[in-house]
Each structure stands twice: as C-alpha cells, then as structure tokens.
C-alpha cells in the first residue's frame, strides 16, 4: 500500500517518526515534507497529499499538524477527499469502516507518538464496510457536485 504523508512545522517531529514507523511496517511511503521544522502553512501540505490520493499516486494519506484540525479542513476542500481528524485508534477504524476515509489527520502536539502509531495501524488495515454505509458515502460525493 502506498501512503502519502506530510506535516507542518507543528507536526514535523512526529511526521518524521511516523515515516520511519510506516517504512519499517513495509508500506511504500511518499514523504511530501516538509524537510525541517521551519514554519510553514498547513494547507500547502494538505493539498499535496490530497492530490496524491485524487491522482491515484497514493492509496491513503496521513497529515500531521498541531491538532490535525487545520489539515482536515484543508484536505476536505479537495473533491474526492474524505479526511478524518482522529485522536483514538477506534475512531480511525470507524473512519475507514463507516466513512471510507482516505486521509487521516492527527495531532503532533496533543496526541503521543504511540497513540498515533496505533491510529495509523487501525487506519491502514481497516476496510470500508460498504453495505448501508456505501449509500451515505455516495451522498457525501454528491455534495461535491452541488
């Protein structure tokens, strides 16, 4: 599975650790930066990861900022993106199972690394449930066309 990942300055330290974690777990990781913790604007990085998903260059995305909130708001502006801001592994699993989320956004400041690793495990291994959830996701997609 190909995973595109990026952060802003507030998420940089955890992004670096999560890149290593995903590489060691055998994922094909596309690190979209930044390359340092110099101050940057999170929408720029959300856009790049979102475009990797929409273009089919990555299967899932991971975005890390201070809270994960700004990254989710920005990524969800891109048609085809369902980004979920998650603080627990069970919410990560539900974001996949119920919402078919294709990007998870996490907090580099308020969630510890071990929890974020467990969030990524859940996010990257849980399949979409389909069934009754599929029609709801189709309605989300229809909102993009309005």
- Catalog residues that contact ligand RB5 under the rule CB under 6 A: 8, 10, 42, 65-67, 69-70
From 21, 98, 126, 128, the catalytic residue: 98
Q: Do 108 and 86 contact (CB within 8 A), yes or no?
A: no
Q: Considering the complex, what minimum distance in angstroms separates the CB of residue 69 from ligand RB5?
A: 4
Closer to ligand RB5 at the Cβ: 17 or 25?
17
Closer to ligand RB5 at the Cβ: 53 or 63?
63
Q: Known catalytic residue: 72?
A: no
Q: Known catalytic residue: 65?
A: yes
The 3-state DSSP class for residue 62 equals strand
Q: Do 96 and 83 contact (CB within 8 A), yes or no?
A: no
From 53, 65, 74, 81, the catalytic residue: 65
Closer to ligand RB5 at the Cβ: 86 or 93?
86
Q: Considering the complex, what minimum distance in angstroms separates the CB of residue 86 from ligand RB5?
A: 14
The 3-state DSSP class for residue 81 equals coil
Please list the helix, strand and coil fractions of the chain in percent, rounded to the nearest 5, in that order. Answer: 50, 15, 35
Q: Considering the complex, what minimum distance in angstroms separates the CB of residue 34 from ligand RB5?
A: 12
CA–CA gap between residue 124 and residue 127 (Å, rounded): 8
Would you state the structure tokens that stand for residue 88, as one six-digit string? 């627990």
- Catalytic residue list: 65, 98
């Amino acid at each position: 599975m190909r995973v595109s990942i990026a952060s802003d300055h507030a998420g940089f330290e955890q992004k670096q650790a999560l890149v290593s974690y995903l590489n060691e777990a055998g994922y094909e990781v596309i690190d979209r930066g930044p390359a340092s913790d110099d101050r940057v604007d999170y929408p720029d990085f959300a856009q790049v990861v979102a475009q990797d998903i929409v273009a089919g260059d990555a299967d899932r995305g991971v975005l890390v900022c201070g809270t994960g909130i700004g990254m989710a708001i920005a990524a969800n502006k891109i048609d085809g993106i369902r980004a979920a801001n998650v603080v627990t592994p069970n919410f990560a699993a539900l974001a996949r199972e119920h919402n078919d989320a294709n990007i998870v956004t996490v907090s580099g400041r308020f969630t510890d690394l071990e929890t974020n690793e467990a969030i990524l495990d859940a996010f990257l291994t849980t399949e979409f449930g389909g069934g009754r959830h599929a029609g709801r996701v189709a309605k989300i997609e229809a909102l993009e066309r309005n």
